[in-house]
Amino acid sequence: MTTAQVLQKNGRLVGTKHVDQLISRYKKERWVANTQFLGKPDSLSTWFGIEEITQFLRLASEHGADGIKVYYGVYPEDFEGDIELRGRQTVVLVATKEKKTENGLFHKNLYVPHKGGAEILAFNYGTACPPFCGGNDPLGTEGIPFGLEMERVGLTILEDEKGIKVI
């Protein structure tokens, strides 16, 4: 198998144990600090509907994309959309096109014509949890996002000066 073939074969299905380890480690090593810094629970996940994702992938494909990058981002403190999202992290999906150069293979962000200029082809505004985790109480009991109480994957026990928490 050549290097080019290896690079083309990225991503694969993973099991529950792998996902559990990634989420649990993220909660311990990043989410707790983010939450303390923000003074409110930071987002742990972003949900997108299959139909919307499919439409974005179709549009990206129609414009010649051959991949998608997932960027991590943070809504600004003066975000004009839903104020609950202010300061919270998010993900942005960006269509990409492979470019081979003498220095190697790159996945360049894809720009499409728009109003006489060019605009990046990207997808955002999924449902962030927190603050929107389902149920009637967005922060659930003891500040644990309600929707996460029902999630088994990534269940993490943290102990600090305030006691023990399950997130």
pLDDT tens by residue, 3-50? 555 445 688 899 999 999 999 999 999 998 999 999 999 999 999 999
CA distances from 148 to 131, 140, 143, 158 (A): 11, 9, 11, 15
134 pLDDT above the threshold of 90: no
> Concatenated DSSP letters for 15-70?
-HHHHHHHHHHHIIIIIHHHHHHHTSPPP-EEE--HHHHHHHHHHHHHTT--EEEE
* Contact between residue 130 and residue 42 where contact means Cβ atoms under 8 Å apart: yes
> 104 - beta bridge partners?
101
Instruction: Provide the CA 122 distance to its chain's centre, in angstroms.
Output: 13
Question: Which residues, 6 or more positions from 27, have their beta carbon under 8 angstroms from its beta carbon?
Answer: 44, 154, 156, 158, 167
Average pLDDT, the chain: 85
pLDDT of residue 164: 67
A 10 A CB-CB count for 72 gives: 8
pTM, two decimals, is: 0.77
Average pLDDT over residues 145-164: 62
* Contact between residue 145 and residue 41 where contact means Cβ atoms under 8 Å apart: yes
pLDDT of residue 140: 46
Banded pLDDT at 152 (limits 50, 70, 90): low
Question: Which residues, 6 or more positions from 3, have their beta carbon under 8 angstroms from its beta carbon?
Answer: none
Bond before 138 cis per omega within 30 degrees: no
2 pLDDT above the threshold of 60: no
Provide the terminal-to-terminal Cα distance of the chain, rounded to the nearest Å.
42
For 116-130, what is each residue's pLDDT tens digit?
999 999 999 999 999
pLDDT of residue 161: 74
